[in-house]
Amino acid sequence: MKTIAFTDFRNNASGYITEVEHGESLVLLRHGKPVAEVVPFSDEDLKTPAWKKPGIHLKIHGKDLSSTIIEERESGR
């Protein structure tokens, strides 16, 4: 990852974009502080929306919650 001043990036943007096309990542600094990261484009995340990706599956041993609630209602607790 290369760190460069924003003014240097602005003056030589074409060359830096070529570096990004070849896999280099850049961190842009303004007044010595990081303000942006330029990374190569990846369409991996665009293929499947987040809401269609598989989520976490939890497996809990014992009775399910609805059965426990029904038992407690029937027992009068």
For the chain, what are the domain ranges?
1-41
Q: How do residues 13-65 score in pLDDT, each as one tens digit?
A: 999 999 999 999 999 999 999 999 999 988 776 777 778 888 887 777 888 88
Fold of 1-41: YefM-like fold (3.40.1620)
Strand partners, 38: 26
- pLDDT-derived band at 77 (thresholds 50, 70, 90) equals low
Residue 37: Cβ within 10 Å count: 11
DSSP assignments along 11-45, one per residue: HTHHHHHHHHHTT--EEEEETTEEEEEE-----HH
Residue 77: Cβ within 10 Å count: 6
Query: What is the chain's Cα-based Rg?
Result: 26
Most distant CA pair in the chain, distance:
77
